[in-house]
Amino acid sequence: MSDVRDAIELRGVLEGTAARLAAERLTKADELECIRQVQARLDAIKHITVDTFGTYTDLNESFHAELVNLAKSAMLRRSVEDVKTLPFASPSALVFARSKLPRAAEMIIVGHEQHHAILEAVECRQGTRAEALAREHAQLSRRNLEISLTDEDIRNYVPGSSLILG
How would you class 126 by CB atoms within 10 Å of its CB: exposed for 0-12, middle for 13-18, buried for 19 or more? middle
Which domains does the chain possess? Answer: 2-165 (1.20.120.530)
pTM: 0.86
pLDDT digits (tens, 9 = 90+) for 28-84: 999 999 999 999 999 998 877 778 888 988 999 999 999 999 999 999 999 999 998
pLDDT digits (tens, 9 = 90+) for 123-163: 999 999 999 999 999 988 888 777 767 766 666 666 555 55
Beta strands in the chain (DSSP E): none
